[in-house]
Structure 1
Amino acid sequence: MGTELKSPEKPPDDARRNRLLDAALGVFLRYGFRKTSMDQVARAADVSRQGLYLHFATKEDLFLATLQHSMEVSLRLASEGLSDVSLPLEERLVRGFDAWVGRYVGMLGADARDLSEVLSASGVQEVATRHETLFLEAVAKLLRASGLVAAYKSTGLTARQLTDTLYATARGLKYSSGTREAFVQGIGVAIRALCMPLGASR
């Protein structure tokens, strides 16, 4: 059974706009919100400052659009991993968590510490929560379909509780892993342990 993630409504795909957002993401991850300037983003995207302002009136608008774009890309990649029925359950889960949680591990610059503060702002948090909910629902759906929840029936654990446990582990690994590779190794161990009731990898 496939596990589909549906992203919130968004404007028609605009390749140029997406390239701007990809470039902006790299700059925000390196310098944080406060130290990032529109000039830096324009240079990274290889467009004029005026060209950037045609798409985004303020740095705040750019940041919110960048956040939403990065989450939509992460959801799409997570969906591809979780939905790939040719892969064993454990690998599907690793790919899903890597796409959603591990994708930017090791990429934050020293000046990007303020991003967590900016992410707690109400408008930004609403976007983040909406996408996070879609991801967690998809993981829980996959766990139910895999038979893993049935294997845990005697413990009384639900699909959402198993999902939340993996997610808490992934978030901890996000901050303790120095590289994306280390994150993947760590979440792989956690997923292997969780899937033990199903026996060897399918």
Structure 2
Amino acid sequence: MEEVARAAQISRPGLYFLFSSKEELFRAAVVQVLERDLAAVEHVLADGGRPLPDRLAEAFDQWAGRYIGPAARDITEVIEANPGLLGETAETAPQRFEALVTDAVALETGRERARAVARTLISASIGLKHQARSREFFLERLRVAIGLLVD
């Protein structure tokens, strides 16, 4: 907490005034990042001037691609070991992402197929994220999955 306070250029007591615990600070930071990521995803998917496969690849990159690598694994382990740490955000953020992808796909494939496509792409991205050696590898393989499901 001392290092965080120093980086924020406030006193440690001032930091504890804003966040009563390390857990609360962590939760606030994760929520802020997820909100930023979801806003970026929404912006990318709303760009109807680009082909859907390109928008989907960029949306998944915004959502998951930037979190490929050792540091991302550490964060995932912390969250998995402490399921209550993020509260409802652990459920609502992925649900919002799924809804955004479903809506984008529905415009081109119809609502009936869109949810299955979105869920399959999300499952593929999760598997790829665990296999990926790099962000480029993740995106290359994800583009294949998108090509198979969205045409």
TM-score, L = length of structure 1: 0.66
| 1:26 equivalent in structure 2 | none
Change (3 A) 1:110 1:175: closer
Distance 1:177 1:58, change over 3 A: same
Tell me the equivalent position of 1:115: 79
Asked if structure 1 preserves the Cα contact closer than 8 Å seen for 2:101 and 2:118, the reply is yes
Q: Check 1:141–1:65 CA distance in 2 against 1; reply closer, same or farther (3 A cut).
A: same
Give the C-alpha shift of residue 111 in structure 1.
5.4
Any idea what SS the aligned residue of 2:20 has? coil
Extract unaligned runs of 5+ from structure 2.
none
Moved over 4 A (4+): 109-112
Matched residue, 1:138: 100
Candidates 95, 119, 127, aligned match of 2:89: 127
Letter of the 2:105 partner, please give it. L
Paired positions, count: 150
Match of 1:23 in 2: none
Spell out the pairing of 1:44-123 with structure 2 (5 A cutoff): 44-106=7-69, 108=71, 112=75, 113-118=77-82, 120-121=83-84
Aligned equivalents of 2:37 and 2:125: distance in 1? 15
Identity of aligned residues (%): 34
Distance (Å, rounded) in 2 between the aligned partners of 1:159 and 1:69: 28
- TM-score normalised by length of structure 2: 0.86
- Aligned equivalent of 1:33: none
Unaligned regions of 5+ residues in structure 1, if any?
A: 1-37, 151-156
Rg larger in structure: 1
Q: Which has the higher helix share?
A: 2
Aligned to 2:137: 182
